[in-house]
Chain A
Amino acid sequence: MKTMELRVTVNGQPRQWTIAPGDLLLDVLRREGLFGVKRGCEKGECGSCTVLVNGRALNSCLMFAAKVEGCEVLTIEGLADGDALDPIQKAFLDHGAAQCGFCTPGMILAAKALLDRNPHPSEAEVREAMAGVLCRCTGYLKPVEAVLAAAGESSKRAARKRRPAEAVR
């Protein structure tokens, strides 16, 4: 079988993986032990396999791994900073937004992509951003509340960070 070398940054770490040209990103990530990327439909319909590629939420089941050459890939495993959870992860716990947890990585990453480009989304914008990740357990209310709370939290934190700078000025 023909193989090729893939150079990619995954969760902040440079990686060089040997892949087959037809390998899907989902399969490669799971093969490399990133089991937080879930296989829910393999057709780009459920969003359980969502990862961020250069900050965009994409279905890794629809993407050839070869396409992420030179890209930055973020999976759920790379979101927490050591023991410190990302505000979205923490909000998911606080709001009871994870039930079975199978769609949770995809939900959190879809939310992360949204908050990174729009830190103060409306509820409608949160729902739009998360519409690509299906959940059969929660009815979406608690996940949406969690993301809105995380957005509030991150804007508070940003405000805290800004304050000393303002004092200097």
Chain B
Amino acid sequence: MSKRNVVGSNVHKVDGHKLVTGAPAFTDDIEMPGMLHGKILPSPHAHARIARIDTRKAKALAGVHAVLTYQDVPRVPHTTAGQAWPEPSPYDTYLLDSKVRFVGDRVAAVAAESRAIAERALRLIEVDYEVLPAVIDMEQAMAPGAPVIHDEPDSTKIHDPSHNIAGYILREIGSVEEGFRESDYVVEREFRTHRQQHTPLEPHITICWLDPNGRLVIRTSSQVPYHTRRQVAMILQIPVSHIHVIKPRIGGGFGGKQEMLLEDICGALTLASRRPVKMEYTREEEFYMARSRHPQILRLKMGAKADGTLLANQMTVLATTGAYGSHANTVQGNTGSKVLPLYRTPHMRFECHVVYTNMPVAGAFRGYGCPQGFFAQESLVDEIAAQLGIDPVEFHLKNTIRLGDIDRLSAQLGEGKEGLPRVIRSCGLQDCIRRGAEAIGWAKKRQTHKCPSPHLKRGVGMSCSMQGSGIAGVDWASAFLKMNEDGSFYLQVGASDVGGGADTVLSQIAAESLGVTLDKIIITSGDTDITPFDVGAYASSTTIISGGAVKKAAEKVRAQVLSLASKMLETPVEKLECGSNEVFTVCECRKSVTMTDIALQAMYKEKLQIMDGASHFNTDSPPPFCATFAEVEVDTETGQVKVLHVATAVDPGTAVNPMQSEGQVEGAVTQGMGYALTEELLLDGAGRPLNPNFMDYKIFSAKDMPKLTTILVETDEPLGPFGAKSISEVPINGPAPAIANAIYDAVGVRIRKLPIRPEDVLLALRDKERERREEGVAK
């Protein structure tokens, strides 16, 4: 491997300067002349038909320019999930409908000259609702006689609408029954996970206007500009060519913006008013009108030999997608396909029902089904290891997937269709486990539990996880490069930097391939008029897929540069190298020509624009691996769990920018701790949100944080650009099971429901104490 100059360096973010100086970079940081404010009238009912709706008073209010109800817009069944066409999610959503299916569902929309007028107009819309019985409990959704949420005839791709089943999955490899028969120890447990919200600091926001040619411009905080363009075209029934989607700087997405959420209604209001319209969710609306993580009930059954060899792994999942099936099948498919294959188990079975309920809509969320699955699996594995008297570190080293293995479950569980078998071509998991254990002080802490006081007990726990790097055979991206006359290069990518630093990583890959310094790469990303296609920022795909496209395009452009330099230096191409913003000979004569001179020669002598583009996809999705170790302190009097230290060791392939990679891990771990301990969007019995604000929905602040240790265990992935895989998702899977296992280590109780609240721990401790006493009495 030759020495690298830019890839592998902790360069500053290419867009860092504008962020630390507060330059106007985000969607909301423009002021359009004549811009209106759009607002949505949210449904107050979980399930109702609109019997009558009268907008005359709202329309008559001074300053109101448009009021839309289902009577005013085309009825086109679609999904809001920002996925490659044809989307594997059900087409069960309408721009506006005569039925509402959750508290917060769209009833009407207005555009007015100020937010205050828009809000006043909403109050003037008269609606008579025929309130319907609602399905709030997911365990009741499939019951005979349950209210049918999607009874409309025109929705498609719903597995069984009459039983509220959005999607169903059943896959088996080998025979779990046989596996259980061969096992010495079989255990089955139920786990429950909850509704977590992304809470990007920048809520969803879209500004639409008509350009001088009458095309609809959509400036939007989106992870998926190209999917959004296609979906809005379909919904508003205008040609794709009449839409221009611009993704400015994004204030965090985490999957919540892999969704066409405000763009369609904002576009409709713009078309109706012929004025620029801005729509932004308030923080409260963001909590329940945007998306959340799918709540699941998981039954997991595993069988092992006495020596700890795992033989069979069966996962049965009931999940709810809320009122609409955004990402319903694919998130839940990942709960099986990315979780079960962590172990080299010969027998695996995954069965899942995804049901509709009259609840806020779930969607893509960092980890994409895996945090739920790994919480269950890694908790159960810890229990099995304890039962068999095997140290969890040893248990993981013995059973986890390794280099050269073939993951066959992925082949059966592709996203929305048959997938492709996954071959493990790089795997640093064993090193991750060893180095993470060392960082947390595993060997010592598992033996001697330090108790600072009689009621404060400490323990350590661990978990392992993996993810993917792009969707095999589905995700693809393209990139375009052109040379400027000062020897710099303009890089155009469809990829969407959501905040994780994709613009920087892609620029680093281009600079490395072209032998130029990073300042010679000027990147534009995510603009459907300017940049070539990219599926968008999801499925941990950007570094490997978009980066692959950038590398290919850069290699083509490099060939053009070398060809011209060869003429200028009168040296064959084979004897030339690019580096330090010049092309030089590798023979002893040491001639060179600068990139600037090459560009000037090309443009003004040869009449040639040096430029090229490339497309890229992979037929495999190399997994990044992660081992998470947590140390906790449990207060046995209050049930309070305090995390003291989380050590996370991750194999991302090559870390293109190690500092950014660490940042991805630290952010994911923090969201994962919130998932484990504090974050839950609560609803009352009527489906109304109880805590849609940051005071009552608690995310970690700077003060709440434990010590974080991040270890990058780099490997060289053959399918990735410069050996890179991905990193942003996988570390979110670890904290919940590692913390639950640490709690067991500390106080001997298993918590199988998230989030782990003090009252749950306290109750479990009391139950344990009672059992102990009863056992004493029985003896």
Binding site for B on A (CB under 8 A): 31, 33-43, 45-46, 48, 75-77, 79-80, 85, 89-90, 92-96, 98-105, 108, 126-128, 130-144
Contact = CB atoms under 8 A, between A and B. Distances in A.
Contact of B12 (A76, A93, A133): A93
Nearest to A92: B20
A130 B202 contact: no
A130 B704 CA distance: 11
Contacts of B701: 130-132, 134, 140
A35 to B, nearest CB: 4
A99 B501 contact: yes
B315 to A, nearest CB: 29
Interface in B599-644: none
B119 interface: no
27 contacts: A33-B31, A36-B21, A38-B202, A40-B202, A40-B203, A41-B282, A41-B694, A45-B694, A46-B283, A48-B201, A75-B22, A89-B21, A93-B13, A98-B16, A100-B202, A100-B250, A100-B251, A104-B19, A104-B22, A131-B702, A131-B704, A136-B254, A138-B663, A138-B667, A139-B663, A139-B668, A142-B666
Contact of A96 (B23, B29, B254, B662): B662
Contacts of A79: 21
B490 interface: no
A72 to B, nearest CB: 17
Contacts of A40: 201-203, 283
B201 A46 contact: yes
A42 B283 contact: yes
Contacts of B663: 96, 99, 137-139, 142
Interface in B50-104: none
A112 B251 CA distance: 22
B252 A137 contact: yes
Contact of B693 (A41, A93, A95): A41
A94 B666 CA distance: 17
Given A93-B12, A135-B201, A139-B705, A98 B19 contact: yes
Contacts of B32: none
B21 A140 contact: no
A85 B466 CA distance: 40
Given A93-B12, A127-B703, A136-B252, A45 B22 contact: no
Interface of B: 10, 12-13, 15-26, 28-29, 31, 198-203, 249-252, 254, 280, 282-283, 498-501, 659-660, 662-663, 666-671, 693-695, 699-705, 708
Given A35-B26, A136-B201, A141 B708 contact: yes
A99 B498 CA distance: 9
Contact of A101 (B12, B28, B499, B703): B499
B739 to A, nearest CB: 15
Contacts of A135: 201, 702
Contacts of A43: 283, 693-695
Nearest to A135: B201
A109 to B, nearest CB: 9
A41 to B, nearest CB: 4
A76 B499 contact: no
Closest 9 CB pairs of A and B: A36-B22, A100-B499, A101-B19, A102-B251, A76-B22, A139-B666, A139-B670, A45-B694, A35-B29
A59 B20 CA distance: 18
A154 B177 CA distance: 67
Given A85-B17, A100-B202, 6 more contacts: A31-B31, A40-B202, A41-B693, A79-B21, A139-B668, A139-B670
A136 B256 CA distance: 13
B22 A105 contact: yes
A98 B498 contact: no
Contacts of B501: 99
Contacts of B703: 127-128, 130-131
B8 to A, nearest CB: 14
Nearest to B18: A101
B20 A98 contact: yes
A96 B667 contact: no
B25 A136 contact: no
A101 B25 contact: yes
A159 B12 CA distance: 27
B201 A99 contact: no
Which one of A31, A96, A144 has the greatest number of beta carbons of chain B within 10 Å? A96
A99 B500 contact: yes
B542 to A, nearest CB: 14
Contacts of B10: 96
Contacts of A31: 31
Contacts of B251: 38, 100-102
Contacts of B202: 38, 40, 100, 102
A94 B29 CA distance: 25
B668 to A, nearest CB: 8
A138 B666 contact: yes
Contacts of A34: 22
Contacts of B699: 134, 136
A102 B22 contact: no
Contact of B249 (A101, A132, A144): A101
A140 B705 contact: yes
Among B28, B199, B663, B668, chain A packs the most CB atoms within 10 A around the CB of B663
A141 B666 CA distance: 7
A40 B282 CA distance: 8
A123 B17 CA distance: 25
Contact of A136 (B20, B23, B28, B200): B200
Contacts of A108: 20
A83 to B, nearest CB: 10
A55 to B, nearest CB: 18
Contacts of A134: 201, 694, 699, 701
A112 to B, nearest CB: 12
A39 B659 contact: no
A77 B19 CA distance: 11
Contacts of A75: 22
Contacts of B13: 93, 96, 98
A156 B87 CA distance: 57
A49 B21 CA distance: 14
A138 B276 CA distance: 34
A99 B12 CA distance: 11
A140 B22 contact: no
Contacts of A144: 702
Contacts of A94: 12
Contacts of B254: 136
A46 B283 CA distance: 10
A104 B20 contact: yes
Nearest to A75: B22
B443 to A, nearest CB: 26
Contacts of B282: 41-42
A84 to B, nearest CB: 11
B31, B283, B671 pick with most chain A CB within 10 angstroms: B283
A13 to B, nearest CB: 16
